[in-house]
Chain A
Amino acid sequence: MKRMQELYPRLLGGFGLIWAVVLQRGALDWPSDAAWAVFAALWLVASVALVLGRRTPIAAGALAVLSMVLFLGPGRMLVDPLGLFWWLGLAVAVTDRRPRERALLVRVTVTTAYGFACLSKMNPSWIAGEQISALSIERSQLHPFQSLLQSNAAVAIAWVTMVAEGALAVALWFRPTRLAAAVGGTVMSVGFIWAAHNDSVWDVATIITLTGLLVISYLAFFCPIRPEPAAAPDGSAALDAGRATPG
């Protein structure tokens, strides 16, 4: 229980600090220096408070509100990572001393992100492997594999990625598949970061934060969302606890 109550908000705050790289002067088109300075200061204070475990609900709520403010302002193109900060911040803010509810809300965020990532890839361009082929041209680290990634292998990678994201949305909920899904999702995330990075602030702004927030949120799937069954004299509760259903 302490993992969702104490550790998870600290991890969220840690990613808030990493993401603060995006708030360096000039990276986004701020309306004024004062607006940038105030926003950056508030973001850092909220993130540090989360890391330190001080006033966690207020700090998490502030991070969520600041994410929305940034999305409505100069950070509109950062919708995906800001969306995660928004939902995960809200999840922590409204579930103080309610670790089961917090775990449930975080699980829903992870499933939604993977589920819609899968659905969004169901388009002719992705399924034909065009996006993978284009990435192999755009990213220098993929140049050694360019000929491979412009063959049918690109189609295979596109399909595997789409199916894997759809599977993650479901498999993390069930005990028999949970650990394998978490390991697979982590490996896939590392692969994404390596393949898509271009050594710019954009890496931190999007793929590193996006995949990182999802991976730390796997923690919620290893925490209970339902109350422990009351012990019955015949031991049936213990049998129930071992069943392969979401929990």
Chain B
Amino acid sequence: MQDGRPGGLLGLSLRPVVIVLIAAQILIPAVLLGVRHLDPTKGQLPFSWQMHTTCWGSDAPICDR
């Protein structure tokens, strides 16, 4: 076990790579959502319901039953 030294934010001692990954996971969808909010024709809704409608009326091979 190499992690788990106490200290830092909330008692966690995190390496920079972990902090960068956490920040990116939050900021990237936030930017996508923000762009979409400002202009509904651009950007995309992260983890939205839209994916379920992709095959509606589509004859794409991935939609084959």
Establish whether residues A104 and B18, one from each chain, have CB atoms under 8 Å apart when the complex forms.
yes
Check if A10 is an interface residue, CB within 8 A of chain B.
Answer: no
Q: What are the residues of chain B within 8 A of A207 when measuring CB–CB?
A: 51-52
Q: Determine if B45 is an interface residue (Cβ-Cβ < 8 Å).
A: yes
How many residues does chain B have at the interface if contact means C-beta atoms less than 8 Å apart?
Answer: 37
Is A191 located at the chain interface by the 8 A CB criterion? no
Q: What's the tally of chain A residues with a CB closer than 8 Å to chain B?
A: 52
- The reply on B38 being an interface residue by CB < 8 A is no
Partner of A206, one of B46, B51, B61, B65: B51
Fill in one digit per residue for A102-137: 1 if any B CB lies within 8 Å of its CB, else 0.
001100110011101101110100100001001100
- Cross-chain contact A116 with B17 (CB below 8 angstroms): no
- Contact at B49–A22, with CB atoms within 8 Å? no
Q: B48 near A200 (CB under 8 angstroms)?
A: no
Return 17 A-B CB contacts under 8 Å, by A number. A28-B61, A79-B51, A80-B48, A80-B51, A83-B47, A100-B4, A104-B14, A112-B25, A114-B47, A116-B33, A126-B49, A134-B53, A200-B55, A200-B65, A201-B61, A226-B11, A227-B6
